[in-house]
Amino acid sequence: MAIDPYRTHLTKLSVGSSDERTTVVTSGESLFETYGTCAIANGTSGVRSDVTQAIGTALTGNLRGAYFVATNGTTAATGTIRGLECKARAADSSNTGANVATLEGAYLNADAKTKNVTLMRGAQIVLDGAAGGTTTTAVGLEINNNASNTQTTAYGISLNEGSSSGKHTYNYDIRFQTGALVDNATSGKLNFLTTYYYFTCASRASSAYAYGYTIDGSDDMLTGGDAQKSYLFYLTASRPVTAAATGDSNDALLRANFNNYAANDANFITRGINVSMGNRSGGVMGYLEGAALGVNNRSGSTSSNVSGLTVTVENYGTVSDSFGGIDILMKNEAAVATTEYGLRIRNENNSIGDSVGAAIKITDTGANTGFDYWLDCYGATAATVAPIRLGQTSGEDIVIAMGDFADGADSGFAPGSIGLDTTNGLLFVTDSAGLWQQVTV
C-alpha cells in the first residue's frame, strides 16, 4: 500500500494478523517508522494526526488525536514499558547539529478558542491498577535533570502566566489533593490559602544532630549594608478593627507545645527555645544579644496591663533538685568589660520625667507563706568587702559591707555606709569623715 507522505487517510494500519502481532518485531525494528529531512525554515512534523468530530454528532466519549498502548506479554519484565517516549535533540547521535534557541521534549496545548469549556487541562496523568496487584512506589510526575552541560538557570517546575499576547494569571499556583491552595501572585510572597497547614517532619536520622526544618540564609540573606535590616524569619499579623475579641480570647504570633512521655535519664534537657548567637574570630559588632523582646502600647491605644516578659513556672509532679523562674548563667572567660552585670534594670522614661514604681517588685498571693528570702546571696563571693553598693557621693561608694570592723577605723566608703561585723555580731555606720562608728543599743 502506497502512503502519501503529506496526507494519509487510514482506517487501521496493522502489521501481521491479530495472532501474530506479538511476534512481528525483532531486535532493532519498529512497527511504524518515519524518516525525513526538513528543508524549509518554518519547520514541519514527522507525524501528524488531525481528527475532527463529525458535524451533527454529539461527542459522549473521548476524541483522541493519538492513542498509544504498550502492553507486556506473559513473561515478567525487568525492563521499562513506556506508553509514549519523545525526544528533542540539538544534534544526532554522532553530535552532528547546531545550537538551538528552545529545545522541548514535549509540547501539549489545550485550546478553547472562542468556545465555552467546563474544565481545561494542559495534561492529565493517571496512575491506575486493579485490586490484587502491588506497586512498590507510585509517582505521578518525576522530573530528572540528567544534563552534564552547563546550565545557567534550572527549574524543576516553572509556572508562568503565558505569553504577552494572551496571558492569564493563575488564581492559585498549586492545589493539593486535600484542596489546599498555594498562591504566588505577588512576587516574593508565597500565600497558603487554606485555614490550617500542617508540616510533618520525616523520621529522625541516626546522626547526632537532627533538624526537622532548616532555613539557611547565612551566605545570601544576611548581606545588608548601610542602614539596612535583615531578618531571616519574619512573622507579621494584625487583628482588624472589625474583629474585636471577647471572653477568654488571646492571640500569639508563635505558639509551641511539647509533651514528654519518656522516662529519660537525669542528663536529658528539653528547651522550648534554644538559641545560640556567635561572633566568630575576626568578627566586630556593636551589640550581640541572645534575644530582644519589645512591646509597645502606642499613642491612642489602651491596655490594662503591659509587660515585656511573663514567665510562668508550674509543678504538679516531683522536682528533686531545683525549682526556679529565671536562671542567668554568666561566663566571661576573656577580657573584663567596662561594665558587667547579671541583671540590669533601666528606667528610660524620656517623655515624662517620672519614676517607675519599683525596680524589683515581689508579691505573693497571701494563700502561701511567701518567700524564705527576698534576696539570697548565699554561695556568692563578692570581689570586695562590700557586696551591695547603694550609690555614690563625691566619688565614694555608699555600700552595705560585711567583715571585721573596728570603731573609728577608715572605712574607705562614703558617709552613710553600713557595715555588718560578721565576727563579733556588731553594726557599724560611716560618719561624715568616712570612719566606722559602732552602733550601740
Q: Chunk the chain into consecutive blocks of 10 residues (it has 441) and report each block's average pLDDT, rounded to whole numbers.
A: 44 48 56 81 89 94 93 93 93 93 93 94 94 94 93 90 71 81 75 72 86 83 85 91 95 94 95 94 94 94 94 95 94 92 91 87 93 90 84 93 94 95 95 95 77
Supply angle C-alpha 192, 198, 204, rounded to 5: 130
Q: Which residues, other chains included, contact 145 with Cβ-Cβ below 8 Å and sequence gap of 6+?
A: 151, 154, 156
Count of Cβ atoms closer than 10 Å to residue 386 Cβ: 21
Q: What is the pLDDT of residue 25?
A: 56
Nearest in space to 434 (alpha carbons), one of 417, 155, 386: 417
Query: What is the biggest distance separating any 2 CA atoms in the chain, rounded to whole angstroms?
Result: 133
Q: How far is Cα 88 from Cα 107, in angstroms, rounded to an integer?
A: 11
**Each residue of 54-91: b (16+ CB within 10 Å) or e?**
eeeeeeeeeeeeeeeeeeeeeeeeeeeeeeeeeeeeee
What is the pLDDT at residue 333? 93
The pLDDT, as a whole number, for residue 137 is 95
pLDDT in tens, 91-113: 998 999 999 999 999 999 999 99
CA distance 405 to 418: 11
pLDDT of the residue at 127: 94
Number of neighbouring beta carbons within 10 Å of residue 405: 23
Provide the pLDDT for residue 26. Answer: 58
In which residue are the cell numbers 485490586 written? Answer: 131
Instruction: Please check whether residue 51 is in contact with residue 64, taking contact to mean a CB–CB distance below 8 angstroms.
Output: yes
Residue position matching grid coordinates 539557611: 216
Measure Cα distances from 156 to 146, 159, 181 in Å: 12, 10, 20
Cβ atoms 436, 407 nearer than 8 A: yes
pLDDT for the residue numbered 30:
72
Q: Give the global pTM.
A: 0.66
In the prediction, which pLDDT does 239 show?
A: 94
